């Protein structure tokens, strides 16, 4: 055995020394040492890289609570209303995190906000889908939120009647995911963006907060389900909750920084203001008014049109006034109903274009008349609509539309 081992050793480039020991040649020893040094160097490099990875960095402004600073998560913050809310919060020195999957929102709106507030620790944007529970949990784990303003939702009545499951998933199911994360991480305040569509078609006007909720389309039903979940959870929670049921939103930022820019494929389902502007710019041949036989003054639907600037003001006041273990439910409107025909005439004057109008049969899921009684929100939050001139709100929005003919895309 000894001679066999020695023979193999000699075959491996070794030399026999006194005492029968084998000695590696210097060249072989140098190769081994080189490999050891290489492995140590690579290991050290990996450690350095890991320490600089996000999970190893020291806490950022967004991941830690800071006295005197309120960190608000704005879901759907790249959308029409959400982006205006984020702008107002940033102007008021809140710290803002926007979460949006950009299915309805615009990255361009986020870039505008980033340009206006480039300072570290003011604004961050996270691309994520609220239907992804793991992604939502990661967002809440890595950020210290003091409050959540939950805007994210698909929001077209007509589309909801054609694809109801999308609405129940996007609104009801996604709100449950957000609510579970809010509960796990003990977020102090939740401001929920709801809708007058939860009331359906009440027998009596104006609508007050205790008006029975009998929604008649999937959009309103999905929102009511989300409200019910929030209300049930709040019964055994210390969280402060505000639910804002608002009416038809119009207008844009008075300083022209933000506006409404729906995706082209959604124009058919969009707000009447967007359709009016598209007709005025020649994007579509004319405006289609659906339904002229409602039991209203001129046969067209009557709505309460609220300027987006007033709407976000109501959200900020709700955030400021929210109290632990309390739920506030408020209608956000002007308290005055305007018919679709009145709206069209105001739009013609605002744009200076004699828009062609086609009158068509009713759209499924619409209701004849809806407008609010804003007395409660005035009493509790000291809020009332200031921008109530329909034509002036449309003029502000039209100005943005003219300077942004392709929305946020240059």
Assign 135 to helix, strand or coil.
helix
How many C-beta atoms lie closer than 10 Å to residue 236's C-beta?
9
* 303 CB-contact burial (10 Å; exposed 0-12 / middle 13-18 / buried 19+): buried
Residue 170: asked if its preceding bond is cis (omega within 30°), the reply is no
Task: Give the residues across from 241 on adjacent strands.
Answer: 190, 327
> Which listed residue (192, 219, 305, 330) is catalytic?
219
CA angle, 78 as apex, 73 and 81 as ends, to 5°? 85
d(CA 87, CA 15): 80
b or e along 238-261 (b: 16 or more beta carbons within 10 Å of the residue's beta carbon)?
ebbbbbbbbbbbbbbbeeebbbbb
335-350 burial code (b ≥16 CB/10 A, e <16) = bebbbbbbbbbbbbeb
Q: Which sign, positive or negative, has the C-alpha torsion 362, 363, 366, 369?
A: negative
Sign of the dihedral through C-alpha 6, 9, 14, 18? negative
Residue 408 a catalytic site member: no
CB atoms within 10 A of CB 179: 23
Angle, CA of 61, 112 and 166, to the nearest 5°: 90
Pairing type for strands 302-303 and 71-75 reads unpaired
Name which of 204, 76, 215 is nearest 148 in CA terms.
Answer: 76
Contact yes or no for 213/200 (Cβ under 8 A): yes
Q: Are 303 and 338 in contact (CB under 8 A)?
A: yes
DSSP H stretches of helix in 52-120: 80-91, 107-116
Q: How many residues does the chain have?
A: 410
Which residues are catalytically annotated? 219
């Amino acid at each position: 055995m000894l001679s066999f081992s020695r023979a193999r050793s000699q075959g491996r480039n070794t030399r026999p020394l006194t005492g029968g020991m084998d000695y590696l040649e210097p060249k072989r020893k140098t190769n081994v040492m080189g490999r050891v040094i290489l492995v140590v160097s690579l290991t050290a490099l990996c450690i350095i890289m890991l320490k600089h990875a996000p999970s190893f960095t020291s806490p950022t402004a967004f991941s830690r609570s800071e006295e005197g600073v309120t960190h608000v998560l704005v879901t759907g913050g790249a959308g029409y209303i959400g982006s205006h809310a984020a702008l107002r919060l940033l102007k008021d020195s809140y710290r803002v995190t926007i979460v949006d999957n950009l299915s309805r929102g615009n990255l361009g709106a986020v870039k505008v906000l980033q340009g206006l507030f480039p300072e570290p620790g003011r604004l961050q944007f996270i691309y994520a889908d609220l239907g992804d529970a793991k992604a939502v949990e990661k967002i809440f784990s890595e950020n210290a939120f003091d409050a959540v303003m939950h805007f994210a939702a698909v929001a077209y009545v007509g589309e909801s009647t054609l694809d109801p499951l999308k609405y129940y998933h996007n609104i009801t199911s996604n709100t449950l995911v957000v609510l579970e994360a809010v509960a796990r991480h003990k977020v102090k305040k939740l401001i929920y963006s709801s809708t007058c569509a939860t009331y359906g078609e009440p027998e009596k006007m104006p609508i007050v907060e205790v008006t029975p909720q009998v929604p008649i389309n999937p959009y309103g039903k999905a929102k009511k389900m989300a409200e019910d979940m929030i209300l049930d959870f709040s019964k055994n929670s210390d969280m402060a909750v505000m639910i804002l049921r608002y009416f038809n939103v119009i207008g844009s930022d008075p300083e022209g920084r933000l506006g409404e820019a729906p995706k082209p494929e959604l124009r058919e389902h969009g707000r009447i203001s967007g359709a009016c502007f598209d007709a005025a710019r020649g994007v579509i041949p004319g405006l289609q008014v659906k339904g002229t036989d409602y039991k209203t003054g001129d046969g067209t639907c009557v709505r309460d049109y609220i300027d987006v600037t007033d709407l976000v003001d109501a959200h900020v006041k709700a955030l400021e006034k929210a109290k632990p273990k309390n739920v506030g439910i408020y209608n956000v409107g002007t308290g005055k109903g305007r018919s679709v025909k009145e709206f069209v005439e105001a739009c013609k004057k605002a744009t200076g274009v004699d828009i062609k109008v086609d009158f068509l049969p009713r759209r499924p899921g619409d209701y004849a008349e809806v407008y609010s009684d804003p007395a409660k929100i005035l009493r509790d939050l000291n809020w009332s609509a200031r921008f109530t001139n329909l034509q002036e709100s449309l003029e502000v929005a039209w100005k943005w539309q003219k300077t942004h003919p392709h929305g946020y895309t240059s």
